[in-house]
Structure 1
Amino acid sequence: MLTELSIQDFAIIDQIDITFDDGLTVLTGETGAGKSIIIDAIQLLAGGRGSVEYVRHGTSKARIEGLFILGSDNRELYNIADKYGIDIQDSMVVLNRTITSGGKSICRVNGKLVTLAILREFGQRLIDIHSQHETQSLMDPNNHIRLLDLYSKKQIEKTKMEYTRLYEKYLSLQKRYKELSANEQEMTQRLDLLKFQQNEIEQANLVPGEDVQLEEERSQLTNFERIYTALQDAYNALYGEQKGTEWLNIASQSLQSGSEYDSFIAEKAEELSNHYFLVEELMYELRNYVDTLQYDPERLNEIESRLYEIDRLKKKYGASVNDILEYLGEIEEEMEQLTNKDTHLAKLEEQIYETYQDAYLEAKELHVLRQEAARALTNDIHAELADLYLEKASFSTSFDSKTASGRQGDPKLHQDGFDYVQFLISANPGEPMKQLSKVASGGELSRIMLAIKKLFAKHQGITSVIFDEVDTGVSGRVAQAIAEKIQQISRQSQVLCITHLPQVAAMADIHKLIQKHEKNDRTATVVEELSENEKIDELSRMITGTKLTETAKDHAREMLEMASNYKQM
């Protein structure tokens, strides 16, 4: 959820810091106080399109920063963070967006500079903004198949994972087929290049691990004097009169002389005797190794020359000799495929066809599961629409597919199967089913969006849902129904709502008032959280529009009490 929002030098806002909590937070205020400007700032934080017009007049840059706390269902966000090398600690994500007066946009996630596209990837999974004219996901038909799959995740997940595996294999085989069936001139040039590389590597007569052995031998020859001195000094410290082994021998004999009188001395005498023989053996090994050492400047030159040749090959073919030899095997395999191209193309065609058939069967199963999910979704949506006094509205899910070229009517596969899914709505009896984006009435669209959002909120894993005046154009019992539906959504996701309806404001867990003041001869926006008495005054103002009356205050108290009772249901 969004817990902290900081906005500086943005439009008419000079500096505000807003704290948010779980549940439903309502923001109210007079028209022009800056409510929508706050939503504009959050949209930019989610990766929306920026403009220098947002930079407060007379300042060099506008800055927006938001702190989000992730829940246990945000695994996808952690995967995105890993993908871009962004560290998430203590389940916290900080998004930062700066827009300069020169038009530059600077984006950060947890302090790391990112592109606007990356910021948008995070923003779209943290914030879902709904208004009468814009929504981030529900209005876009490209998202409908994903939403349907989320709705039936338990039933569809296993089949979809298997389909994804087969589809990726199918794409990989197609890519290889395309590469192998490129024009003859490209194939000839590629074969010539591979033959040159093969010849260059084979002429080097590389031996596995050769570079490691040569580097070790070079180190020995380069540091011959240090190695010789270290070994000789160690040997001299152990061998001879008044040296290490002689003193160990004296100590061993001393313990042996008293071993028959004390069991501890006997035990330690045996231990020391064993250590003495080990040290004596070590001493002779050092002497023998010294005798094998021989400094050979010609051998050092040979090694340097050989390593130079190997390093030259490393720059072209791999980080080690083993990598180079592995690459040699790969190009030999590719050369064999190019030389026998027709045979391999025929084999690839067969593999592509078999993989397509396997993937198609999984896609067909996905289609069946989605149709079952669509029927259940339709029933649930109709129930939600009835709660919003749209009981005569109709919702349906359309399924379509495209034909794969050259496959005699076989469906064309894509990353989600062969289905192209779209949600359709008819707001009134007798009207044809239309795309969500083509529903004419703003009041109807608002209610339809709320109904769909209510069902998908728990499936999408969105941290914060924002409603910007989605209740415009409604009143009476419909306004109360919308208020109840927004409150229901807030039980599953954090909800921030800008509203002009007292029914919605009364449902708030937290009520914040946005006001516009003059400060140093300039307009500034301030946000304050209302107490219980202040809520009553603000609701009264929303009811009457002008003068506060005792009747309006009594009505406001009654609305708050009714809302409290509803939330406890």
Structure 2
Amino acid sequence: MLCELRVKNLALIESLELSFDQEKSSGLVVMTGETGAGKSIMLRAIQLLSGGRASVDWIRNGAESCEVEALFEVDAGHDRLLQKLEESGFGRDTTVILKRVLNSAGRSRFYVNGSLATARNVADLTADMLNVASQHDHQQLLQPGLHLDIVDTLGELWPARQELAGLYGQWLTKTEALGELRRQEQEKEQKQDFLKFQIQEIRQAELQPGEDELLATEKKRLKNAQTLIKVSQESYRLFANDLLDMLTRLRQNMGQLAALDPDVVKLAENISGYSFLAEDYVNELRDYRDSLGNDPYRLEKVNERLDLIQQLKRKYGETVDHVLEFAQKSEAEVQQYENMDKNIKTLEKEVLALERELVGQAGQLSEKRRRVGRDLEKAMAAELSSLAFDRAAFQVKWLEVERVPEKMRSSGWDRGEFFFSANPGEPAKPLAKIASGGELSRLMLAMKCLLAKKDMVETVIFDEVDAGIGGQAAEAVAGKIKELAGHHQVFCITHLPQIAARGSQHFQVSKSVDGGRTQSAVIRLSPEKRVAELARMLAGDSATGQTEAWAKELLLKGESRI
């Protein structure tokens, strides 16, 4: 339950601290005040604390930032919320303090129990702590797409719905994959023939990695073959006929010197080694000369080979390696095509198995929803009866959809919509066609009461949901809100004295000008001031002694129902 609320520099509020009774975890807290006084400050503060969008226009003029802070006491049995707190690193304490600071640059900082948090953190936590019902909820109730969500919430069917959504996602993925395979199968023969042609063209060339570079080098050599042969022949002749003979005679002479003088032995050995090395060079030069040859057709063959390689590179890759890689990938793709029939049959079996499971689960969920729908009709009839709709009709109508997987959504086949008739004999119509705002307010209140019984949320906030209601309907709405406050902490921002009189705590929001600045204030009313406030709500500025008597009577009736 919400125990304390602190607001600073929010709209017309400069500074505000409110404490709410903690004697019990239920009770009705009402807030009243003149139009424009700032009664919805409570809702705006809660919206900020819940991670909702904020506007810098909400910051009080002249301030750098606004702050909202609230202290909650959580029921020790609320395991889901306590587990969320613990898993998020905020501890498992039943006392929870939420805080948000919004600066003039539009940036927000969130805190949970003093630790920094994200907007998602606080939104997730407050979803289990607070339930806000405003006039905006009226509009949501008019959206048929949300009606199925309400049915699933009341029937506690969300786990089954989420399981179905996961299964539907698997089926959809497999079905799309199967469709793609079948499309490819239609193109298989043409595509496969083309791939085989490309592979054959590459493989017949018998390419070798780096072959183009080697051929380019050979081409350069062949273009200069005559010069290479002439120069190498002349070099060989000079080396073999002249220099080699001289080195041989030199080696022989040095051998004679070494035999006569030991000091020359080392020099003779070095010169001898040099001469033998020269003989090796001569042999290498001869081999090089002989390798050149003079095949007039070799250059033509090299050019043809390079042209073929260049043609393949233009088609399949920038380098020979890329061309060979293309061939490997194409061969793998051909293999896939050859395995396609097998893959299609395997996938067809998987899709069929998923369809059977999907249809089974969707059918079971649909039956449960219809049972919940019938229960909802009965429960709403009882709730509406207590809200001055004696013979109203509330119906959950289901759109008939062909029960095949192709007609399914992730939520199943069901398309439900709420219909309503306030008057006997009149056909029920979609909620969107209900003209009366008062009727819609009571419908929403009845729905909120049913939903509140299904969740662990301890605090419910109503923001002027009594719009368009008066007379007997106002009494009925007041009684229903008071009934809800018997097992929840309920805050109600209201303009109805019937509701205000039933509050166990009554706060008044007022607006004043101080030092040229307008500001709102919220005070808890004493019994005497409650009489005056109720009198104002009954008769405005023309309150009389009789009006005050009516106000006291309202309070007595309200207190007798507390």
TM-score by length of 1: 0.63
What is the aligned partner in structure 1 of residue 345 from structure 2? 346
What is the aligned partner in structure 1 of residue 447 from structure 2? 452
Q: Map 1:30-429 to 2 at 5 A.
A: 30-71=34-75, 74-78=78-82, 80-81=84-85, 85-134=88-137, 138=141, 140-153=143-156, 161=159, 164-165=162-163, 168-169=166-167, 171-172=169-170, 174-175=172-173, 343-400=342-399, 411-415=407-411, 417-428=412-423
What is the aligned partner in structure 2 of residue 475 from structure 1? 470
**1-structure distance, mates of 2:125, 2:10:** 22
Question: Counterpart of 2:492 in 1: which secondary structure?
Answer: strand
The letter for the 2-side match of 1:483 is A
Query: In the alignment, is the contact (CA less than 8 A) between 1:3 and 1:67 conserved in 2?
Result: yes
**1-structure distance, mates of 2:526, 2:438:** 31
Note if 1:440 corresponds to 2:435. Answer: yes
What is the aligned partner in structure 2 of residue 4 from structure 1? 4
Q: Report how far residue 487 of structure 1 moved.
A: 0.5
Gaps in structure 1 of 5+ consecutive residues: 185-335
The letter for the 2-side match of 1:13 is I
The letter for the 1-side match of 2:410 is H
Query: In the alignment, is the contact (CA less than 8 A) between 1:382 and 1:393 conserved in 2?
Result: yes
What is the aligned partner in structure 2 of residue 201 from structure 1? none
Q: Which of 1 and 2 has greater Rg?
A: 2
Q: Report how far residue 127 of structure 1 moved.
A: 2.6
Question: Counterpart of 2:390 in 1: which secondary structure?
Answer: coil
Residues 163 and 499 of structure 1: is their aligned pair in 2 closer, same or farther, counting only changes over 3 Å? closer
**2-structure distance, mates of 1:40, 1:170:** 39
**1-structure distance, mates of 2:142, 2:85:** 27
Query: In the alignment, is the contact (CA less than 8 A) between 2:396 and 2:417 conserved in 1?
Result: yes
Residues 12 and 438 of structure 1: is their aligned pair in 2 closer, same or farther, counting only changes over 3 Å? farther
**1-structure distance, mates of 2:137, 2:509:** 22
Query: In the alignment, is the contact (CA less than 8 A) between 1:399 and 1:419 conserved in 2?
Result: yes
**1-structure distance, mates of 2:168, 2:136:** 40
Query: In the alignment, is the contact (CA less than 8 A) between 1:454 and 1:488 conserved in 2?
Result: no
Equivalent of 1:488, from 483, 489, 498?
Answer: 483
Decide which moves more: 102-111 or 467-476: 102-111
The letter for the 1-side match of 2:150 is L
Residues 517 and 101 of structure 1: is their aligned pair in 2 closer, same or farther, counting only changes over 3 Å? same
**2-structure distance, mates of 1:387, 1:398:** 23
Residues 434 and 42 of structure 1: is their aligned pair in 2 closer, same or farther, counting only changes over 3 Å? farther
Aligned pair count reads: 408
The letter for the 1-side match of 2:381 is H
Question: Counterpart of 1:444 in 2: which secondary structure?
Answer: helix
Query: In the alignment, is the contact (CA less than 8 A) between 1:543 and 1:552 conserved in 2?
Result: yes
Residues 136 and 126 of structure 1: is their aligned pair in 2 closer, same or farther, counting only changes over 3 Å? farther
**2-structure distance, mates of 1:140, 1:126:** 25
What is the aligned partner in structure 2 of residue 542 from structure 1? 537
**2-structure distance, mates of 1:67, 1:33:** 25
Gaps in structure 2 of 5+ consecutive residues: 185-334
What is the aligned partner in structure 2 of residue 16 from structure 1? 16
**2-structure distance, mates of 1:82, 1:422:** 39
Q: Report how far residue 337 of structure 1 moved.
A: 10
Decide which moves more: 55-64 or 460-469: 460-469
Residues 182 and 373 of structure 1: is their aligned pair in 2 closer, same or farther, counting only changes over 3 Å? closer
Residue identity (%): 36
Q: Report how far residue 507 of structure 1 moved.
A: 0.6
Q: Report how far residue 57 of structure 1 moved.
A: 0.5
The letter for the 2-side match of 1:385 is L
**CA shift digits 1:20-48 (9 cap, x unpaired):** 34311001122222112332222232233
Query: In the alignment, is the contact (CA less than 8 A) between 1:25 and 1:510 conserved in 2?
Result: yes
**2-structure distance, mates of 1:480, 1:514:** 23
